[in-house]
Copies of this chain bind each other. A is one copy, B any other.
Amino acid sequence: MKIVIIGSGNIATHIGKAFLHNGFEVVQVISRNKNHAKILAEKLNGEAETDFNKIAKADIYLIAVNDSQIENVVKKLNRFFEVKTLTTAARPLVIYTAASVSINVLENEKWNSGVLYPLQSLKKEVDADLKNVPFIISGKSKLIKEIATSISINVIEMNDAQRLALHVSAVFVNNFTNHLVAIAQEICEAEKIDFKLLQPLLKETFERLEKMPAAESQTGPAIRGDENTIQNHLRFFSNPTFKKVYKELTFSIQQNARFHSK
């Protein structure tokens, strides 16, 4: 199976590597950024390309670009596959990796469409074993399932709505929790406090989340309704953005508790 990878970011890198390790042939990496295309193409033993008019023939086209670029890439592919003479079985498979985009954006009689969304926070620079990462798939082609199961043992089919909800949840579980810890690290750095002091708390937080629903293990001034402490904390902030985050999360904890106690 020959693959063209469109994109050279975090997801393109990790899925590209997984393809290579599973015996697929990555013939080309296309990216607007020449340097990034080169670096990834070298890793995947493919050719680097920046000009979409020189896109290679392949069985599978993997679109791993920013969500905002997907429609643009689809338009270009549409021009590239000029005629729709092929039977369903003979058509190439075009996949994108974006969780929040409807598969309707991709649907086209010139190719078979699929979504392949790895539910993990992937960084180019950090190695990842995708075998246990849940892969969310959509699309009618059987090939999409075969590809996913060749990479991961945890493959789940979902529709657009579920995939979107899952992506939003993932943003809360990973991106937002990570940012909150970044804020704590900034505060500690500014006050010359060793963040290591907070590592046991961080560990306990996570371990408790594995054992019980988060709503049941909520502690702190917000859930206690401890207005004195909340006011002391709000006076502490010099950064208005962090202060706003503190306010909104405190409000959300209190709203949610009220909702559940009704």
Chain B residues within 8 Å of A32, by CB: none
Tell me if A214 counts as interface (CB < 8 A to partner B). yes
Whether A205 pairs with B121 at a CB distance below 8 angstroms is: yes
Q: Is the CB of B233 within 8 A of A168?
A: yes
Name the B residues within 8 Å of A177 (CB-CB): 177, 180-181, 205
CB-based contact A185/B121 at 8 Å: no
Within 8 A of B (CB), among A197-240: 197-206, 208-210, 213-215, 217-224, 226-229, 232-233, 236-237
Looking at the assembled complex, report how far the CB atom of A124 sits from the nearest CB atom of chain B, in whole angstroms.
Answer: 10
Question: Of A39-47, A52-60, A140-148, A245-253, which binds chain B?
Answer: A245-253
**Residue contact B68 to A126, C-beta cutoff 8 Å:** no
Query: Number of contacting residues on A, CB 8 A?
Result: 93
Question: Which of A20-28, A82-90, A159-167 touches B?
Answer: A159-167
**Across the interface, which residues of B come within 8 angstroms of A224, CB to CB?**
66
For the complex, give the distance between the alpha carbons of A98 and B228 in Å.
11
Contact present for B214 and A182 (CB under 8 Å):
yes
On chain B, the residues within 8 Å of A199 by CB distance are 210
Whether A157 is near chain B, meaning CB under 8 Å from some CB there, is no
User: What are the residues of chain B within 8 A of A213 when measuring CB–CB?
Assistant: 182, 185
Contact in complex: A219, B133 (CB < 8 Å): no
Q: Which residue of B is nearest A167, CB measured?
A: B233
> Are A201's CB and B233's CB within 8 A?
no
Say which one of A73-81, A106-114, A187-195 lies at the interface with B. Answer: A187-195
Given A121-B201, A166-B193, the answer on whether A248 and B251 have CB atoms closer than 8 Å is: no
Listed residue (A180, A195, A229) with the most chain B CB atoms within 10 angstroms of its CB: A180
Q: Which residues of B contact A156 (CB under 8 A)?
A: 197
**How far does the Cβ of A135 sit from chain B's closest Cβ, in whole Å?**
11
| B182 engages A169 (CB within 8 Å) | no
Structural contact, B178 and A165, CB atoms closer than 8 A = no
With an 8 A cutoff between CB atoms, is A123 at the interface?
yes
Complex Cα–Cα for A208 and B251 (A): 29
Which has the most chain B C-beta neighbours within 10 Å: A177, A187, A246?
A177
**B168, A172: Cβ atoms closer than 8 Å:** no
Min C-beta distance of A258 to chain B, whole Å: 10
11 contacts between A and B (CB under 8 A): A68-B228, A101-B228, A119-B200, A132-B200, A162-B191, A168-B187, A170-B184, A172-B183, A174-B204, A176-B180, A241-B256
Extra contacts, 18 of them, besides A179-B214, A182-B218 (Cβ < 8 A), are A120-B200, A120-B201, A121-B217, A133-B200, A165-B187, A165-B188, A166-B198, A168-B184, A169-B187, A170-B201, A172-B183, A175-B222, A175-B249, A176-B180, A177-B205, A179-B256, A180-B180, A244-B248
